[in-house]
Amino acid sequence: MTQPPSFAVVSGVQVRGVLQGREDIVTHIVESAYRLHGERQTINPDSYFLKFPQRPADRIIALPASVSGHVNVHGIKWISSFPGNIEHGIPRASAITVLNDPETGFPFACIEGSIISAARTAASAALAALKLSARRGMRPRRAGFVGTGLIARYIHTYLTRNGFMFDEVGIFDTARDNAERFCGYLERSRSGPARFHDDADSLIRESDLVVFATVAGSPHVTDPGLLAHNPLVLHVSLRDLAPEIILSAFNVVDDVDHCLKAATSPHLAEQLAGNRDFIAGTLYDVMTDEVEVPADRPVIFSPFGLGILDLALARFVYDELAGQGVLHEIVDFFDELKRYG
């Protein structure tokens, strides 16, 4: 007789213990999930945004998903973004990921999700940088970060652990103290000299790899001429670039339907152009050589962030801890298992 699975709670300390120092493995897991998605072995419905009229800056997002193949799990990521937390010294984002058994539907794990979310975001960006720069035949040497929070730190770590070396790292943040803390991280990581910029425009002009990791709700970079030197742009925060910049560039996304919604920069570009012809393809298309990536145009990667990535990485964490025999299981979590008592 089929039995419900045991239920485990996985802490952030355990998640970090599994993932830290294994950036190459995490990047491979993310690449594998993208390939399963491209091969239609995933289900990734629309995200649901819970918003609050009296607190418009705050939101909680539900990302349900299912991954077949070797991952074989259903689940949901439940992630909040409360920017005001930063003023109180706690992180803006917090999250959990719930995994469901594909046979019974029973949830079998609740995993701290903010570290998984940051790691999969950074691995996605690093993977895109690897694949796109390889197709262009050029490795960036001058990196610039617009926004210097936790996601920026993770992205820089994943870039360097995947072989990128920079002669200089440019830094711009509207909060100078955040930029200074990020600079301290760069010094500790011995990643080369850092340079502060007074605005995003000057940073973009002097970088051949630009990373946007902000909480911008609408475009603040508006001049297409800023990309005249044809940089590679990792547009992770999705709403920094004016639609005119998107329309002037070579655009790659993680999923077309997901990315062109919710007032992202590509969504605004679609509304302005009246079509989606400006999208060259997905990262899966790049990985499978379905699109040629030019060296003589700015290239922008805009990832919406797919729940399948969180599930794939959460499943990896769960399996690693289960293999080590260190899962914190709640034996009697499920009750009323007999239909008639």
Is residue 100's pLDDT more than 80? yes
Give burial (CB, 10 Å; 0-12/13-18/19+) of 192.
Answer: middle
Distance between terminal CA atoms of the chain?
A: 17
Confidence check: pLDDT of 115 > 50: yes
Residues 6+ apart with CB under 8 A from 18: 316, 317, 320, 321
Comma-separated ranges of CATH 3.30.1780.10 domains in the chain: 7-116+307-330
284-311 residue pLDDT tens: 999 999 999 999 999 999 999 999 999 9
pLDDT of residue 92: 87
146-163 tens-digit pLDDT:
999 999 999 999 999 999
Mean pLDDT of the chain: 94
pLDDT value, residue 41: 98
Amino acid residing at 301: F
- State the pLDDT at residue 1: 45
Tokens 């706690």 identify what position?
A: 90
pLDDT at 2: 64
Class of residue 126 by CB neighbours under 10 A (exposed 0-12, middle 13-18, buried 19+): buried
Q: Closest Cα to residue 220, out of 199, 236, 206, 205?
A: 199
- Tally the residues of the chain: 341
Q: Is the pTM of this model over 0.75?
A: yes
CATH level 3 topology of 7-116+307-330: ornithine cyclodeaminase, domain 1 (3.30.1780)
Position 290 scores a pLDDT of 96
pLDDT one-digit tens code per residue, 66-82: 999 999 999 999 999 99
> Over 80: is that where the pLDDT of 190 sits?
no
Burial label for 128, CB within 10 Å (0-12, 13-18, 19+), is buried
Instruction: Report the run of H or E that residue 156 belongs to, with start and end.
Output: helix 150-161
pLDDT single digits (tens) 122-137 = 999 999 999 999 999 9
Residue 6's pLDDT band (boundaries 50, 70, 90)? Answer: confident
List every span in the chain annotated with CATH 3.40.50.720. 136-302
> Which CATH architecture describes the domain 136-302?
3-Layer(aba) Sandwich (3.40)
Long-range contacts of residues 187-194, Cβ cutoff 8 Å, at least 24 apart:
189/156, 189/157, 189/160, 191/156, 191/160, 191/166, 192/165, 192/166, 192/167, 192/168, 193/167, 193/168, 193/169, 194/168, 194/169, 194/170
Percent of the chain with pLDDT over 70: 99
